Structure 1
Amino acid sequence: MTDQTPDYKDTLNLPKTDFPMRAGLPKREPAWLERWEKIGVYDRLREKEGRPDFVLHDGPPYANGNLHIGHALNKVLKDMVVRSQQMMGHDARYIPGWDCHGLPIEWKIEEQYRQKGKNKDEVPVIDFRQECRKFAEGWIDVQREEFKRLGVTGNWPDPYLTMNFHAERVIAEEFQKFLMNGTLYQGSKPVMWSPVEKTALAEAEIEYHDHKSHTIWVPFKVVDVSENSIQHAMEVQFEGSDPIPGRQNAGNWDDVDMAKVRSEWVGTKVVIWTTTPWTIPSNKAVAYNPAISYGLYEITGRPEECWVRIGDRYLLADTLAEEVLGKARLEPTMFRRLRDVTADELASLTLAHPFRGLDGADGFWDYDVPMIDGDHVTDDAGTGFVHTAPSHGQDDYECFVARGWMDRMTHNVGEESEFLPHVPIFAGLQVFDRKGKEGKANAAVIDKLVEVGGLIARGRMTHSYPHSWRSKAPVIYRNTPQWFAAIDKPVGDGQDDYGTTIRQRALTSIDQLVKWTPQTGRNRLYSMIEARPDWVLSRQRAWGVPLTCFTKKGALPTDDDFLLRNTDVNARIAEAFEAEGADAWYKDGAKERFLGNIVNPDDYDQVFDILDVWFDSGSTHAFVLRDRPDGAMDGIADLYLEGTDQHRGWFHSSMLQACGTKGRAPYRGVLTHGFTLDEKGNKMSKSLGNTVSPDDVTKQYGADILRLWVAQSDYTADLRIGAEILKGVADSYRRLRNTMRYLLGAVAHYDDSQRVDPADMPELERYVLHRLAELDHVVRKGYAEYNFQGVFQQVFNFCTLELSAFYFDIRKDALYCDGDTARRRAARTVMDILFHRLTTWLAPILVFTMEEVWLERFPGESSSVHLIDIPDTPKDWLNEPLAAKWQMVRRARRAVTAALEVQRTDKVIGASLEAAPVVHVRDAEMLAALKSVPFEDICITSDVQLTGDPMPNEAFRMPEVEGVGVVFEKADGDKCQRCWKILPDVGTHQHPGTCKRCNDALG
């Protein structure tokens, strides 16, 4: 620029915006939260009439601690669902809720008591329950603020709580439906029992961890054999098998010494293997499988230190015999297989308990142990025979139920996993102590087996073992009277559209009524419900909703009148719970209050077990979806959304509960997400120091970065998070923020008076509108399918690759340097359209940032992007022929920009405007397309020559852009001091140092 050339900088239409490059989210986000609360965004959305409902029902978190990163993932996903559905035209309501009853809270209060030297059992139960309620209330307030800080929208002033009086009433009423429809029963059967928490647990409250267990191989001696077995042995002999002792001459039974045959069977040993030695004192049978091949094995040699003796005979599964005897330290040369043993023979054997005749046991174990068949027995591991203690195993129990042997159940183990006083030798010894550590029971049983010659081998193994979800302590199977919901008994309520039993209704619902995201969720829940036992409803605790029922004194659980089924009694209970909560059940005179003048209170006992908390949360559909005015019109949610562990938790219990009370699933859709892991893929643990706190992330980066991490992740698998991952997320955020900042500057002072109809726009703008129309379909489909990762990736790529690197790059020149031209007005119209699409597309994800962007352009006391729907996109914006043409243009542009980059790297040029390349195009259609558009503007060069001539050898080529060659040429002319293009006409116009376009713009 010479001294005579003016400085044209101030004449350019440079972007104008106060939108900051640095977000400062941690400090600024709380102000937006206050603003949304002040202007009542959630309530104002409810005022929009005529919109179809969309109800995401919140699975209640537990009110007992600060949020962890899994909570944040869950609530952010829910919020993105609700906000996107709202912005696509629904009335998307969200009622947050909390699970308030149950053991974890009760445990905390007990700990406080112990610290003060108080005993829970000495405190009036209502006082204790009130302290549990107060504890839950405190954490609800804490968690509510933590959830709100994440930008989660919802009816926060009026959440649902399972401990609200109305909720407790409905939970009791839902339980009474099981009472009245005949599916409730009391049974004595093995259930998962926590010795630490001293209560039964449901499958949903169990998780599996590695545990080191004792392993023992125990021989059960044959003490008797039926005639059938002897006869079979004779038949085998007559067919020419190995000799049977006692047979003198072939041909007839008269020559058989039956006593000697019997004596040869007696003393043979059936070997079992178990990882729970403590259950041996409760053994009542040994199981085999008729489908397994068994053999009789004899010991012919032995090492010096060994528990087997030469001449011992053992019955074993053939596939496991060598392994088992190897555990007993025998080489294969030290034993031999005598013959096959059939299922008929096994069925005829009677065994002795290993402790039979034990000194000091007073005959406690001097009973016969039968051999029974069972499909659960395998030859994959063990011995092919299963030690059966029906009070301590589900398969064992089912075998005894099938035979009607319920009188043979044992009650040998107490609530602290201790052997009860009536058990000889072992009374008082625990399996696990109150801290979940191994007690003395296993070692004592093993030592006694060694003493009586009841082992052939022992060891230790680490395997997956059930633990309490809450205490993290191992559990046991223990026979104890509990209340159950029968899932295979016909439900007497007449709601049989999807089946007559709870199981049938659940399986039908899974297949016919529910959409699963991802689809694998269907398989997981289906298989769980298909194989699950009856639902254990009762817990032996104090903080919860009681089983509101009465049993008749003197009646047996199998009697028809054992349970009081009376609608008037049920109504009284419901009315009391509505007014006073479930504490009414525990007040003095409660039984008389509920039964008086209806039945004689003296004839009945009041049940004081409390309901499984999964029944509480499984009932939420009734007091939230059904009863609340902002629930669901038909009482069914459009979506339940939780982690994959809820297939055995909330999804499961809600399905069973609703199928028992309303005949079908309470949801139409189920979405499951994975767990959160650290950056290396390890499970997070405080002890490892690899946890990531949502509070720490929001303080360092802001909640939008945490939300963006969720949106960028594949939630259907486990998600990793850590410092480096969050840095990458923050980088993506900055790039997106710069795109929005550019748009704000480009549309400054734009209004509808400058709008250009798409039909009058240049092709480039119409191509961008076509891409917008395509992307609008992708975004809506993605949000409808809850594919947030797909939505964000598509929008992000559009912003960075198609806008910043293409459209914005090309149109900067027109925006900055054009006067009031049709081209500039068209570009600004498209950028206004882009602004509205991008802010609303991204608002469900980046709730704070898109609000900031919106308010930068549309300030106002009641303005908010979250009150806006995603704009409808005209179908006529789609133009496939135009898009195909511009794909050719973009391919050719890539070849040109790559060729210029080589010149820039070699410092031949500093900027692309110094170039005027010659572009050789082999394809006639592409050449025509390039000639029909201002290709020099598209390539951001001062000029370009397009030719169909053969490309010279020196032409630059890109393998991926076949048929295009670029020969570099410098632009001819002088540099315009306003737009910096190098053109021949610069300096020939009124305004010094300008090209014609800039001269005209200056007027």
Structure 2
Amino acid sequence: MEYKDTLLMPKTDFPMRGNLPHREPQIQEKWEEMNIYKKVQERTKDRPLFILHDGPPYANGDIHMGHALNKILKDFIVRYKSMSGFCAPYVPGWDTHGLPIETALTKNKKVNRKELTVAEFRKLCEEYAYEQVDSQREQFKRLGVRGDWENPYITLKPEYEAQQIKVFGEMAKKGYIYKGLKPVYWSPSSESALAEAEIEYQDKRSASIYVGFNVKDGKGVLEGDVQIVIWTTTPWTIPANLGISVHPDLEYSVVEVSGKKFVVATDLVEAVTKEFEWDNVATVKKVKGLQLENIVAKHPLYDRDSLVMCGEHVTTDAGTGCVHTAPGHGEDDFIIGQKYGLSVLCPVDEKGYMTKEAPGFEGLFYDEANKSITEKLKEVDALLKLSFIKHSYPHDWRTKKPTIFRATAQWFASIKDFRSDLMDAVKETKWVPAWGETRLFNMVRDRGDWCISRQRAWGVPIPVFYGEDGLPIITDETIDHVSNLFREHGSNVWFERDAKDLIPKGFTHESSPNGIFTKETDIMDVWFDSGSSHQAVLVERDDLQRPADLYLEGSDQYRGWFNSSLSTAVAVTGKAPYKGVLSHGFALDGEGRKMSKSIGNVVVPSKVMNQLGADILRLWVASVDYQSDVRVSDNILKQVAEVYRKIRNTFRFLLGNLADFTPDQALDVKDLREVDRYMLVKLNKLISKTKASYENYEFAAIFHAVHNFCTIELSSFYLDFAKDVLYIEAVDNKERRAIQTVLYETLLALTKLVAPILSHTADEVWSHIEFVSEESVQLVDMPEAREVDQAEEIETKWDSFMSLRDDVLKALEVARNDKVIGKSLSASISLYPNEKTKQLLESVEESLKQLFIVSGFEISGNYEDAPEQAQSFGQVKIVVGTAEGKTCERCWVVSTTVGVNSKQPTVCERCASVVTTN
């Protein structure tokens, strides 16, 4: 007889190897065929809504690891919510306007803008944007992200633009929108104004100059032979200087050096002395900043006055305490200039070149002008010191080139009138991590007005008409009309038609008695686009609602989408657009460096999926502390793949050992052995912990809990000793059915618990479970923890036993290394426990030989009675020897009963009974 044919070995078609790069696309095709998104929504349609509103990625280029991290995290949450009592629709979106698409066409596609009208160029931008959306959509779907991919929101769609116009109109109606001449971040490389969210800081080498301004009218406080010393790192702004700012409460010293007199803040005299390498410095006079107010100095280059003003923004952190003030090139400069009635001089054009308002430097690029201006200051003996410093400087986040502050006529959203409402909304929102509240609160508290206009072609037009007097016209009638036009024709109609064809029919306005109107040509900041999504998506669509339950984006969006969405929503509704905000860090390489093509350390999602599979990427996302910056590398992903392999093998074992089991054969909990109930207790704890972790967005806790459950509770203990029952005993043996009952519970629960994370693998497992009726695990709910009587007592007892078992396994390993035994089944162990451990062992009704996976076991005496050769542990001493008897040919246990049955001479008595009976 071939005894191996009598064993009840695992049987399953579920493959050991995942082969995910090949199998996942097949699973996704099945999802497409069954329209899984629609089926999930239909199943949950009568439940309360949970809305995770997608922050739109920019539609340009392939997705990167940051995209993958973000979309997978969202998918975890949406999938979990739809399995836990909610209807959780997920509508993905794309941000599609702005400079990168214009640049892609002109540089990459070689489109000549000069040969096209604005409308024609915008049409090409639209076509390109849709191409990018289609490309990114397929990549996101390949990640296994479930959503309404056929009906996403896209910021260039007519219905979206129509709602955006409504948001703008409502803000204008409340007086929050205005046009004004103010200095804003300006990008010469983009030839456009920028919002704060479009600024990033990089190191830049700049000239550092100290300049002396001769006093022209000292107002009886300063003599005419005194110079007021300023410091700046932007020499190109000197031609725009109209004043000098001092702090009213600071003390200033007039110091004399080599017959010359200079004014410097007293607190900075020592630092300036060191910088200038002065000797024999004498303090001639000390005055308060307030005493210097309205003193007039002479501009060092031009026949022009420079007024001394008092400003609270002046500090002694660096420089001289006397601040060079050019109202056309700085926010603080502008504000104090307005207070003192200065004009707004801005002698730099939109491309960054000096204009005729900077005599002597006209035509020079502002950065090149630094040298010429510095040389001129030296020539007129106004340059006191020149050096160079490396410092953090604002750059255009798109072109990566330096920006400047430049005063231009722009459209602004003023938040001062509802700033307190914004701060209240921040406080009412739940922030994860908690520091997000402080971060955004401080931003709102400190931010100035929002520049929302851009001098570009590709974007949503600012829907403003101008009358014959040049004043802007924004009325309910014009806003509604333009919104309806955009909904019907798209925003390109603004550039295809003249103002007279865009104005409402029969519209009249007192500013245009002759009925002549012109239109604004600027477009809106793209952050106004995406920041309007709470209305253009959450209100526009019937399957969503405002406010959303959750916004989830990278930590850079505190100054971006979280901020712009809050501003527009509070302005329009008085409330935040979200109930909660969750943020994640950035994806870095394995050494914690930013990914860069030049360094060659970029990990590409598509490459990972082609080599390892999307579920490995998803499991990596679950494994990291995503609220901080996260690391990813080939080596890290290989480690994750190893964890995946263990989880997959666990599923395969569970499936294989349930091949001859049906749910109606499951035993009642009270009929299970204590060790089986112990495993149900552990399973229940896993269910509770995992669901709580999902609720708190703690995915790394789920990763570790599932991994530990599979490798420690199951693989290293329960499944390990269960093989002796599952394979060896008769098919209907009660102990075997007890174990199968636990495996059945575990298989269903574990598949459901990992479904949001290992979306493909969970569905693959589900398809191999014969006793489920649902066609996908996505169409069931999370498992409920099962009641087990005396769960706490059982767990306490068996946790203690597990600790003892660890000691036994260590003793067996030592004996194996010492060549005392081979496999553990060849061993016999003698235990010398302390009294507490002895009571524990005596209370275990299950076969201790099975639990320890040895062929011989006995309690040979008390702890103190152990022989010298015994291995000593805290609770027990152990002697490992070889078991007596012969090895059973069927179960491999060493037994003295082998050969007792003459008809089955090579097997033990247990196996002979099973074989004979069956």
Please confirm whether the aligned pair reaches a TM-score higher than 0.5, indicating the same fold. yes
Query: Does the 8 A contact of 1:917 with 1:945 survive in 2?
Result: yes
Partners of 1:931 and 1:912 lie apart in 2 by 24
Query: Does the 8 A contact of 2:78 with 2:89 survive in 1?
Result: yes
Partners of 2:891 and 2:771 lie apart in 1 by 33
State the AA in 1 paired with 2:878.
V
Partners of 1:592 and 1:978 lie apart in 2 by 92
Give the C-alpha shift of residue 984 in structure 1.
3.1
SS at match of 1:904: helix
1:510 aligns to 2:419 (yes or no) = no
Give the C-alpha shift of residue 372 in structure 1.
1.8
Partner residue in 2 for 1:704: 615
Partner residue in 2 for 1:540: 455
SS at match of 2:537: helix
**Structure 2 portions without partners, runs of 5+:** none
Partner residue in 2 for 1:903: 815
Give the TM-score taking structure 1 as reference length: 0.88
Give the C-alpha shift of residue 566 in structure 1.
2.7
Give the C-alpha shift of residue 345 in structure 1.
3.1
1:579 aligns to 2:503 (yes or no) = no
Partner residue in 2 for 1:607: 520
SS at match of 1:917: strand
Query: Does the 8 A contact of 1:770 with 1:878 survive in 2?
Result: no
Partners of 1:291 and 1:747 lie apart in 2 by 83
Partner residue in 2 for 1:276: 234
1:371 aligns to 2:286 (yes or no) = no
Residues 455/858 of structure 1: CA separation in 2 closer, same or farther (3 Å cut): farther
Give the C-alpha shift of residue 930 in structure 1.
4.4
Query: Does the 8 A contact of 2:227 with 2:261 survive in 1?
Result: yes
Query: Does the 8 A contact of 1:640 with 1:669 survive in 2?
Result: yes
Residues 916/219 of structure 1: CA separation in 2 closer, same or farther (3 Å cut): same
Query: Does the 8 A contact of 2:422 with 2:444 survive in 1?
Result: yes
Residues 824/472 of structure 1: CA separation in 2 closer, same or farther (3 Å cut): same
Give the C-alpha shift of residue 112 in structure 1.
6.0
Give the C-alpha shift of residue 30 in structure 1.
1.0
Partner residue in 2 for 1:954: 868
| Residue deviations 1:242-294 (CA, integer Å, cap 9, x gap) | xxxxxxxxxxxxxxxxxxxx6xx212112111111111111111112244343
Query: Does the 8 A contact of 1:216 with 1:458 survive in 2?
Result: yes
Partners of 1:220 and 1:57 lie apart in 2 by 56
1:169 aligns to 2:169 (yes or no) = no
State the AA in 2 paired with 1:536.
C
Residues 192/593 of structure 1: CA separation in 2 closer, same or farther (3 Å cut): closer
Partners of 2:474 and 2:380 lie apart in 1 by 53
Partner residue in 2 for 1:60: 56
Partner residue in 1 for 2:565: 654
Partner residue in 2 for 1:937: 850
1:322 aligns to 2:270 (yes or no) = yes
SS at match of 2:71: helix
Partners of 2:329 and 2:384 lie apart in 1 by 23
1:781 aligns to 2:695 (yes or no) = no
SS at match of 1:461: strand
Partners of 1:47 and 1:224 lie apart in 2 by 80
Partner residue in 1 for 2:288: 342
Correspondence list, 1:559-570, <5 A: 562-570=471-479
Partners of 1:719 and 1:162 lie apart in 2 by 30
Partner residue in 2 for 1:193: 186
| Residue deviations 1:763-795 (CA, integer Å, cap 9, x gap) | 111011111111111111111111111111111
Residues 137/861 of structure 1: CA separation in 2 closer, same or farther (3 Å cut): farther
Give the C-alpha shift of residue 323 in structure 1.
2.8
Partners of 2:590 and 2:467 lie apart in 1 by 59
1:686 to 579, 594, 597: 597
1:398 to 325, 335, 338: 335
Give the C-alpha shift of residue 543 in structure 1.
1.2
Query: Does the 8 A contact of 2:198 with 2:397 survive in 1?
Result: yes
Give me the CA root mean square deviation.
2.0
Partners of 2:814 and 2:649 lie apart in 1 by 27
SS at match of 1:408: coil
Moved more, 974-983 or 158-167: 974-983
1:791 aligns to 2:786 (yes or no) = no
Query: Does the 8 A contact of 2:250 with 2:288 survive in 1?
Result: no
Give the C-alpha shift of residue 948 in structure 1.
3.6
Partner residue in 2 for 1:629: 542
Partners of 2:790 and 2:238 lie apart in 1 by 75
Partners of 2:449 and 2:746 lie apart in 1 by 57
Correspondence list, 1:612-761, <5 A: 612-632=525-545, 635-761=546-672
State the AA in 2 paired with 1:350.
V
SS at match of 1:322: helix
Query: Does the 8 A contact of 1:895 with 1:965 survive in 2?
Result: no
Give the C-alpha shift of residue 121 in structure 1.
4.7
Report the number of matched residues: 907
Residues 320/430 of structure 1: CA separation in 2 closer, same or farther (3 Å cut): same
Using the aligned pairs only, state the percent identity: 42
Query: Does the 8 A contact of 2:205 with 2:391 survive in 1?
Result: yes
Query: Does the 8 A contact of 1:851 with 1:865 survive in 2?
Result: yes
Partner residue in 2 for 1:598: 507
1:182 to 175, 190, 202: 175
SS at match of 2:828: coil
1:41 to 30, 36, 41: 36
Give the C-alpha shift of residue 550 in structure 1.
2.2
Query: Does the 8 A contact of 1:79 with 1:153 survive in 2?
Result: yes
Give the C-alpha shift of residue 216 in structure 1.
0.5
State the AA in 2 paired with 1:574.
S
Give the C-alpha shift of residue 859 in structure 1.
9.7
Partner residue in 2 for 1:298: 256
1:825 aligns to 2:762 (yes or no) = no
SS at match of 1:390: coil
State the AA in 1 paired with 2:663.
D
Correspondence list, 1:984-1003, <5 A: 984-989=896-901, 991-1002=904-915, 1003=917
Partners of 1:862 and 1:835 lie apart in 2 by 15
Partner residue in 2 for 1:484: 412
1:353 aligns to 2:299 (yes or no) = yes
Residues 466/87 of structure 1: CA separation in 2 closer, same or farther (3 Å cut): same
State the AA in 1 paired with 2:355.
L
Correspondence list, 1:73-88, <5 A: 73-88=69-84
Partners of 2:568 and 2:294 lie apart in 1 by 45
Correspondence list, 1:209-220, <5 A: 209-220=202-213
Query: Does the 8 A contact of 1:921 with 1:927 survive in 2?
Result: no
SS at match of 2:416: coil
1:389 aligns to 2:326 (yes or no) = yes
Residues 267/920 of structure 1: CA separation in 2 closer, same or farther (3 Å cut): same
1:98 aligns to 2:94 (yes or no) = yes
| Residue deviations 1:744-764 (CA, integer Å, cap 9, x gap) | 211123211210111110011
Give the C-alpha shift of residue 603 in structure 1.
5.3
2:875 to 948, 963, 967: 963
**Structure 1 portions without partners, runs of 5+:** 1-5, 230-261, 300-309, 356-364, 432-438, 490-500, 556-561
1:805 to 689, 694, 716: 716
Query: Does the 8 A contact of 2:890 with 2:907 survive in 1?
Result: yes
SS at match of 1:777: helix
Query: Does the 8 A contact of 1:188 with 1:479 survive in 2?
Result: yes
Partners of 1:409 and 1:540 lie apart in 2 by 20
Residues 529/955 of structure 1: CA separation in 2 closer, same or farther (3 Å cut): farther
Query: Does the 8 A contact of 2:825 with 2:892 survive in 1?
Result: yes
Give the C-alpha shift of residue 925 in structure 1.
6.2
Partners of 2:2 and 2:492 lie apart in 1 by 83
Give the TM-score taking structure 2 as reference length: 0.96
Give the C-alpha shift of residue 396 in structure 1.
1.4
Partners of 2:248 and 2:758 lie apart in 1 by 63
Partner residue in 2 for 1:306: none
| Residue deviations 1:683-733 (CA, integer Å, cap 9, x gap) | 111122211111111111111111111111111111111221122122222
